Structure 1
């Protein structure tokens, strides 16, 4: 009976939180398939630790596992070079578009994780610090650096916010 209850609790958690965790993983790794794989790997690790996890901190623990899996994946990733560049659509100068994916790709993995947790998951500085096992000052400095990088390189962001 105890195992059945544990599995029911985990299944309920998984069904309610998987999409949010996958979305966080996507912001960090920038690929939906990889985000799905990493979320699944994270859930396997969470399931193994489930009997030891405190129910009041399970969300933070799950996010920490997902973020760590994503950052580890990005560190292991090997770039594949192509013989030619793929065709890209041409943008008209009258309608600038913001490529959020390209903007996030400018950030190192840890800064991308901080941005994902702060602005996508809407966590406080304290919660992000706990999720990443860093100090609050590190979260603040990584957020400031990430936003400065985005402001510097994404001039289309300002243009998109201006009324037409």
Structure 2
């Protein structure tokens, strides 16, 4: 960009900065994020300044760029998290529900410690309800392999769970 174009961009930026920032805030609801989004829009405009033929359409270009930036940011996984000043109240759950949740979390934590092939056999066999032949078909192995992997997986799960296995023994 030459000096004249740089000056034109600087004048446009100074004149429209706050309006674009407010528009970004209205789209996202967070001033810090709005600053980032407005900056993204102005960077894109600066990059394409020479290619813009109709300087009267700059607002439309920035608006479109800003809208796309907001949508792109909302698709990013870390933008789905919401911070709050006050934590929400914990839901009141009955004893049965709390025990079921604790049992499920304990089981999942124990399964993460079991080797992958054994874990797959245990999940297919006991959580999905397949018989030995069905698991063998899914895993493309013999029924004997399924039985041995199941036995080893149960042993590994028992070791992983240790004393917390009490309620789970009856389920498995």
**If the length of structure 2 is used for normalisation, what is the TM-score?**
0.45
| Structure with more of its chain in helix, by fraction | 2
Q: TM-score, structure 1 length as denominator?
A: 0.48
